[in-house]
Amino acid sequence: MFKSISAVLIWSENYKKLSDWYREKFGFEVIEELGYANDTGIGLRVGIFYLWIGNHSEVHGNNKDPYRMMFNISVDSVKESYTELVGKGVEFIAQPFLAPTNKWFATFQDIDGNIGQLIGAE
C-alpha cells in the first residue's frame, strides 16, 4: 500500500533565499519552480530524492524547534563532505562522528535553523 516517501518539504518565509543556500552550498539541481498564489516554491534534486523548499503562510522566521525533525543526506565520505561544506561557510553543530550504528554522521544547520545530517563512510 505505501511505496515510499516521495519528498521532504521545508517551508520558509523566504524560500528563494533558503533554496539558493542549498543550491550554492550543496550543489543541488533545480527540478522545478512554481509560482502559483497558494503553491510557491522550488523543487531540488538530491540524488534520486526530491527536496521541496516553499512558501507557507503559517511559517514565519527561523525554525523554533529544529530538533523535531532532521533529514539525512547520503555522501561517500562524511569527513570529505564536511570539510568541503565548512569551506563554503556551512555551520555544523556536530563534527563528523562514528555512531553506534557504525555509520559516520555530521550535523549541520541551514540558514532557517533546520537541521540536517550527512551520513556515510568516514
Kindly report, as residue ranges, where domains of CATH 3.10.180.10 are found in the chain: 1-57, 68-122
Type and span of the H or E element at 76: strand 70-77
pLDDT digits (tens, 9 = 90+) for 52-67: 999 998 999 999 999 9
pLDDT digits (tens, 9 = 90+) for 74-96: 999 999 999 999 999 999 999 99
Residue 36: what pLDDT? Answer: 86
- Residue 100 and residue 117 in contact, taking contact as beta carbons nearer than 8 Å: no
pTM: 0.92
Residue 76: what pLDDT? Answer: 97
Residue 53 backbone phi and psi in degrees, to 5: -120, 115
1-57: CATH superfamily: 2,3-Dihydroxybiphenyl 1,2-Dioxygenase, domain 1 (3.10.180.10)
- In the block, residue with C-alpha cell 555512531: 99
Q: Is the pLDDT of residue 99 over 90?
A: yes
Domain 68-122 fold is 2,3-Dihydroxybiphenyl 1,2-Dioxygenase; domain 1 (3.10.180)
Average pLDDT over the chain, rounded to whole? Answer: 95
